[in-house]
Amino acid sequence: MQLPPILLVEDDKNDLLLMRHAFRDAEVKNALLVAENGEVAIELLTKDQNSGTPGVRIVITDINMPIVDGFELLQWLQNQPRLKDITKLVMSSSLLEADLAKSLRFGATAYFIKPSTYASLVDLVCQLKKTYFESAEGREGEENTEKLEC
């Protein structure tokens, strides 16, 4: 069974590179789609919902981005009935309670602070993988005997 793709919305090229490596090292099986801001994400999600085929089921977004930021993306997603079941994860460097509260108010499923070390990022991606990325069917009968304790 193929797992649904994950849309990563991130404008910082260094953070994007680290996330790609963390997804690889955590052995995430979902395809990773990338949008450099909320506007590009909206374009991708609009095409996806109009295609009539199951597509992106998880969006991971930064908050502070040019053109259309993460809050605007979350608001847009809230107003799309066909996308209401998408899991919306915010990953930001912001420690502000107001940003957490605003994200949750705009429909974020969860809010995570970007880790300060690569090892912590891989650990976080492993937790996201277990909690959000893998379907129940995808885990049945599988044992992770690979190098990572994900």
Nearest C-alpha neighbor of 128 from the set 103, 143, 101, 109: 109
pTM here is 0.85
Q: Which residues pair with 91 in a beta bridge?
A: 112
Helices (H), 6-150: 13-25, 38-51, 70-78, 97-105, 118-128, 136-139
Give me the pLDDT at residue 81, please: 87
68 confidence band (pLDDT: 50, 70, 90): very high
Q: What is the mean pLDDT of residues 2-31?
A: 93
Say which residue, 78 or 139, is predicted with more confidence.
Answer: 78
Tokens describing residue 36? 């450099």
Q: What is the mean pLDDT of residues 47-73?
A: 84
Q: Per-residue pLDDT for 145 more than 60?
A: no
Give me the pLDDT at residue 136, please: 31
The vertex-23 CA angle with 136 and 45, nearest 5°, equals: 75
Q: Between the CA atoms of 103, 106, 109 and 111, what dihedral angle is there, to the nearest 10 degrees?
A: 0
Q: Per-residue pLDDT for 137 more than 70?
A: no
Give the architecture-level CATH label for domain 6-134: 3-Layer(aba) Sandwich (3.40)
Q: Per-residue pLDDT for 141 more than 80?
A: no
118 confidence band (pLDDT: 50, 70, 90): very high
Give the domain ranges of the chain. 6-134
pLDDT digits (tens, 9 = 90+) for 80-115: 988 888 999 999 999 999 999 999 999 999 999 999
